[in-house]
Structure 1
């Protein structure tokens, strides 16, 4: 009878001690696997998260460019910009529309509200300069646009590549109106002669009874010297050649485009990343293929990196990461200084890193990035996440000092403090609700900060109610 009474009392005691943490305390292997799974998921997500200086908070913007060669700014504004603005004004979600007109071109900028998902582009991540003391600049531009631009575009994470600082090779014909009028010709006559002489058409074939010969040759002209003897029309039994009425020179398509790198004429490759791509990993991939790209072009062309946006990003993110590690170590040392027990200090030293690492997994699911604000949120959260572990450990230690068995002390201490830990976590998260409800560019900027901090507190609460009492 005495044994049955003790068993009944033990069963009733365990029933009173059951709570949220009880299943995890009674199943230490499953709880350990849960902690390991959270740490592995966070560690894997950390390697997959994109890296950027700040969260993606730019206003969705769309740039439209229209060209009408030779038109004055007034004509571009009235005949091109105004009709486009009227059509664009019908698009929903536009908050601002601006336009500027210049000689032969109009640029219109459409800015949408923050709820519009358009994957706004970032600033360039890298700038490459191609210089040479032997190769002419048009040839360098041709190499940049036909070889380097194509190969770098195939690198993972690379979005758009703009080739600037020059133009493709071209032949420029500057007609003398006085001489042209003297021969009784017009500009249309010159244009027609140039188009007819540069056409690449089939030439036909020659055949006999047993054989067939195909005629193959190119009518395309590439140099100024090849254009000069072209006959435009015949006047008074003599042919009027292009060199008689115009100056023909080897030049480029756009003579008003230029670039310099370290004081030398250069062709520039402006590289942008894809939306959401890891900027550091993308730049590393580009640098890895640069030796191969240099070997595929003329050795007389020098390729150099003149701008790398990841230098400051790497430095700032590295500083915040070091600060985060130091804060974790300081928290553990403070806990040890007050508890004076190695086992009690070991528990927060596991709970804090796992809580922070597990936050990376939620960040990956939410589409966040590793930036200064998200890392700062984790640094601030270090002081919050350790509170839950300390509260649970202190309450369980109190029962251990009274001589209670470890399992019974863990069950009783976790049951008594579980609601308190839940209340503390909810109250801390509630502090950041106003930040989550903020609108505009500032609210979007700090929303990631508030969510990361709240997620870290939530993961800490889960660890404190499961793994902490089990340990």
Structure 2
């Protein structure tokens, strides 16, 4: 016998256990720590610029050809693009979880090369960039000048020149970006009146800058081949690009007839300014520049955050006087607090399990032996995690908490059986009792391990979001269960042979009374089993009623992806009326910041003004605010309560529409909490028509009780001017169309000419008219263009500005024009209910020429529907097959499987009573319950078969005897697990919502499995064994 070898060699057994523990300790020190494993789809971002073009033009001429080229990339799940009137196009391609981001980037880049030829020359000149991105935000650093010695532009450029590259080299950082695009730029502010006075045009300025601010090759003197040999070869150098505003001011536009020069400074102001003036960063109402730090895929979040902080402290030693930084937005604080709370739960669970074991085993020796299995099994699990490339995250930590109650089970079964034999046979030695006990329980222990692994291991092969979540959880448990089974067969019996004593000291009074009560309960239980076996039809009907109750509860419990957590952070989206100027937005956001900071529990308010978070585009009337809360222990209100308070406070703000929302429960899966969807139009409707249709959807959605703050990012009412061209007059004035629009772009727009060198970097040279000349709709009469016959013609001679409206940015989704729609579940409703409600509204309000597509967390929730059921069925099937193979019978394993519905019933019932949801954590708990409920049933069925076939008892007697013998270990192991899980359902602090969801389902299931299923498993064994005997008699087989 396998166990006998170790019983006779206790030192060998101990050495094996020590080696397992040491391997685990080494693995533990090398495992990365993060909130979740890689659950976000890899993304590739494509960016292009078409300066001066409106949003719809960019969507048609830039986004569309790029999308056509990218469509069909390997493992792509969807793509969306935003084209903005700021002249930018951003397209993000999302790939299946597990796709190699580097290979995806190469594929996208290769495909875009084919689309380049179809793009406008201006886009080709500025280039199309392709890069892999990380959607997981690690932190935001805010930098500011405390003494006002540096402007926001100076701070921004100090960051780009001295800090960003350093941060990008920090191990674990996927990307680091200063928000705002405030790079230095050589700004040429044209004065149209002086241009007209001197007979010059904007195109003259462009041509002169291009000619005189350029790098030219000049060659070498003395270079071969030459007839007269030179002893030296000299390179000729020259100043190519200009380097200061004064040098640009002296650019010659033309030579006058009297020999004088018309220089740039005669018709324009020249300065070092900002590349754009459409955005501004703020921190608590003061100028600041935010730096967003994204986490590299698979990196250790906590370690990366520490390294970033250390790097900033190192760099701060050389900051200019007055330049300071603060980290108001740090997602790792939630991770740290969550892990602290999980460890606290872990310790609480361990203490409760020890108490339960002592109450049953009645002495410290018997209690200590199973407890030794805990550190060996858990430490050994870390070695397995390391070999599999896993991390220490919330999922693996949850699995380890649950493992405490599971890994002691096998050891308890062994100790309890040895203890029982010692009390039944006064003449047997402890060593012989251990050997006899292992002959009886080795098979059940192996069965339990195989059954639990049969549940968990197949689940690990499921792909997608649900598969990624359940893989690390399931394999962590599978590893710990396997090791605990090995320990129960090796170390535990050898320790029992060494340390157990027949006559221990009398237990405490309360312990003795507990066991007296339990002995009475065992008698009542065995009598109850006998009662049920005599009334099979009645109780089979009760079982069928329970199956109906499960179906009812399944329909009543709402679904969601994962629970919303208090992460200590929130986001606010602010929108002023369309076309509001930046200074208005700054003023409004500053006022909001002061009110927000007065709110109890709020610590910091960082704002990105002029930036639309949902469209990732510059928009002067929009702002995104990132609000950091006080530590969980330092505030009384939860994040949800603060969100509700702020939403009420600003609900009636006439100057701005704002919404306060939480972070997505899984970082990087969405921009914010709630849901995101797209209404795609496939019939060629204009964006005005799409807006009209989507407005109906939004209005109807906001009437639904399940939905809150449903809105669309599409706004075609943005005030604009439409340019009307009189082509007859244009030809009459002998004008060139290209010159006309180049002039407009260089005066009313911003014309990028070329680059200049400063501080060792290249910066843009941009031309635009001074603001005073183009600040009204009469701007066209101030701007002149030269005709082919040399006359100066004002633009308003053949161009007219007509008031109109249109979108400032437009979206496309999977090749089609689309409107993005966002919203949150109303308080008291789940994301699943919200998704179902908005789907119904869309079906009722949108025509057949629309289709609905999901993105972010909503996409994962919708696409993962049915996956959990598949995993559950897969687990059930594998449990059945493993037991059938072990028992060499097809019917008897059904008796074990009948325990599972009771666990499911109890799980759904308690979740329903507590008002929780059917989310990923609950579904993962159901998988575990398959194994746990089957484990209890195995103990009864194994002993019933032994009583039946080895001792020759009748089916009825064998069944009742097995139920009586196994009642104590079943209740002991079930209570050990239940009390181990108990701290999860009462957890508080960071990450408590997920622990509540997982713990509630497990406790409900275990209560049902250990109070109801233990009566019905004997019943179904009795029925199936009798049926099996009847079949055997029909086949001519006789049972001895």
TM over 0.5, yes or no? yes
1:409-448 → structure 2 map (5 Å cutoff): 409-432=433-456, 436=460, 440-448=464-472
Cα distance between partner residues in 2 of 1:371 and 1:450 = 13
CA contact (8 A) 2:407 2:480 kept: yes
1:373 aligns with 2:395: yes
1:353 paired to 2:375 = yes
Cα 1:148–1:115 change in 2 (3 A) is: closer
Summarize deviations over 1:83-118 as a string: whole Å, max 9, x none: 111111132322222222223222222222335343
Measure how far apart 1:183 and its partner are. 3.5
- Aligned counterparts, 1:309-458, within 5 A: 309-401=331-423, 402-432=426-456, 436=460, 440-458=464-482
Do residues 185 (structure 1) and 206 (structure 2) align? no
Q: Secondary structure at the match of 2:298?
A: coil
Q: Counterparts of 1:413 and 1:328 in 2: how far apart (Å)? A: 26
Q: Hey, what's the Cα distance between the residues in 1 that align with 2:97 and 2:219?
A: 61
Sort the Cα spacing of 1:202 and 1:54 in 2 relative to 1 into closer, same or farther, 3 A.
closer
Q: Deviations for 1:420-470, whole angstroms, at most 9, x for unmatched residues?
A: 101122233444578557664334323322222222212211111111112
Aligned counterparts of 2:317 and 2:381: Cα–Cα separation in 1: 44
Q: Decide which of 108, 131, 154 is 2:169's aligned counterpart.
A: 154
Count of residues in Structure 1 that have an aligned counterpart in Structure 2: 452
- The TM-score with structure 1 as length reference comes to 0.86
Question: How much does 1:341 deviate?
Answer: 2.1
Q: Any conservation in 1 of the 2:190–2:267 contact (CA below 8 Å)?
A: yes
Q: What is the rounded CA distance, in whole Å, between the counterparts of 2:474 and 2:235 in structure 1?
A: 74
Q: Among residues 456, 464, 467, which one is paired with 2:488 in the alignment? A: 464
The question of whether the paired residues in 2 share the 8 Å contact of 1:183 and 1:235 is answered with no
CA distance in 1 between counterparts of 2:417 and 2:39 reads: 44
Match of 1:171 among 186, 190, 194: 186
Residue in 1 that maps onto 2:95: 112
Q: d(CA) in 1 for partners of 2:169 and 2:37? A: 26
Q: CA deviation at 1:124?
A: 1.8
Shift of the 214–443 alpha-carbon distance from structure 1 to 2, 3 Å rule, reads closer
- Which of 75, 80, 86 is the matching residue for 2:57? 75
Task: Confirm or deny: 8 A CA contact 2:43 2:135 kept in the other structure.
Answer: no
Where do 5+ consecutive residues of structure 1 fail to align? 1-18, 207-211
Partners of 2:411 and 2:219 in 1: CA distance: 88
Are 2:31 and 1:49 equivalent residues in the alignment? yes
CA distance in structure 2 between the partners assigned to 1:322 and 1:248 by the alignment: 63
Q: Shift of the alpha carbon at 1:202?
A: 8.7
Q: Deviations over 1:369-403 (max 9, x none)?
A: 22222211221222111110000112223344434
Secondary structure in structure 2 of the residue aligned to 1:125: strand
Equivalent-residue separation in structure 2 for 1:435 and 1:110 (angstroms): 28
Is 1:328–1:353's contact at 8 Å kept on the other side of the alignment? Answer: no
CA distance in 1, matches of 2:185, 2:70: 36
How big is the shift at 1:223? Answer: 4.1
Checking the alignment, whether the CA contact within 8 Å between 1:97 and 1:108 is kept in structure 2 is yes
Uncovered stretches (5+) of structure 2, i.e. residues with no partner: 103-132, 222-232, 496-1040
- CA shift, 1:122, in A, is 4.3
- What's the CA shift string for 1:179-225, capped at 9, x where partnerless? 4355443434322322444446799999xxxxx99998856544434
The residue that corresponds to 2:156 in the other structure is 141
Which SS does the other structure have where 2:490 is aligned? helix
**Alpha-carbon distance between aligned partners in 1 of 2:433 and 2:101, rounded to the nearest angstrom:** 56
Alignment of 1:127 with 2:151, yes or no, is no
Any idea what SS the aligned residue of 2:297 has? coil
The 1:244/1:41 distance shift into structure 2, 3 A limit, reads: same
Please give the alpha-carbon distance, in whole angstroms, between the structure 2 residues aligned to 1:332 and 1:24: 25
Q: Whole-Å Cα distance in 1 between the matches of residues 96 and 168 of structure 2?
A: 30
**Which position in structure 2 is the counterpart of 1:58?**
40
| C-alpha distance 88-280 of structure 1, shift in aligned 2 (>3 A) | same
Q: Does 1:234 align with 2:258?
A: no
1:108 counterpart SS class: strand
Cα distance in 1 for partners of 2:171, 2:25 equals: 22
Give yes or no for contact 2:457–2:475 (8 Å, CA) kept in 1. no
Per-residue CA shift, 1:35-73, capped at 9, x if unaligned? 112212222222222222223222233222222222232
> Structure 1 residue 354: deviation in Å?
1.7
Post-superposition offset of 1:148: 1.5
SS of aligned partner of 1:404: coil
CA contact (8 A) 2:35 2:335 kept: yes
Q: Does 1:84 align with 2:105?
A: no
More off after superposition, 309-318 vs 32-41: 32-41
Is the 2:138–2:295 Cα contact (8 Å) retained in structure 1?
yes
CA RMSD, aligned part only?
Answer: 3.1
Matched, 1:259 2:284: no
Higher relative contact order (CA 8 A, sep 6+): 1
Cα distance between partner residues in 2 of 1:403 and 1:233: 119
How far apart, in 2, do the equivalents of 1:273 and 1:115 lie? 16
Work out whether residues 143 and 297 of structure 1, in 8 Å CA contact, stay in contact via their aligned partners in 2: no
Q: Deviations over 1:223-258 (max 9, x none)?
A: 434432332111332311112222323311222232
Change (3 A) 1:443 1:230: same
What's the CA shift for 1:418? 0.8
Change (3 A) 1:61 1:151: closer
Q: What secondary structure is seen at the aligned counterpart in 1 of 2:38?
A: coil
Relative to structure 1, the CA distance from residue 245 to residue 417 in structure 2 (aligned partners, 3 Å threshold; closer, same or farther) is same
Question: For 2:321, what is the secondary structure of its paired residue?
Answer: coil
Q: Aligned pair in 2 of structure 1 residues 378, 76: CA closer, same or farther (>3 Å)?
A: same
How far the C-alpha of 1:178 sits from its partner, in A, is 5.1
Confirm or deny: 8 A CA contact 1:128 1:270 kept in the other structure: yes
Structure 1 contact 50–277 (Cα < 8 Å) conserved: yes
Does residue 272 of the first structure (1) align with residue 287 of the second (2)? no
Question: 2:38–2:297: 8 Å Cα contact kept in structure 1?
Answer: no
1:204/1:215 contact within 8 Å kept = yes
Q: CA deviation at 1:265?
A: 1.4
1:307 to 321, 329, 345: 329
Contact 2:134 2:175 in 1 (8 A): no
- TM normalised by structure 2 equals 0.41
- Alpha-carbon shift at residue 362 of structure 1 (Å): 1.5
- CA offsets 1:154-176 (integer angstroms, 9 cap, x no match): 32222211122452222211224
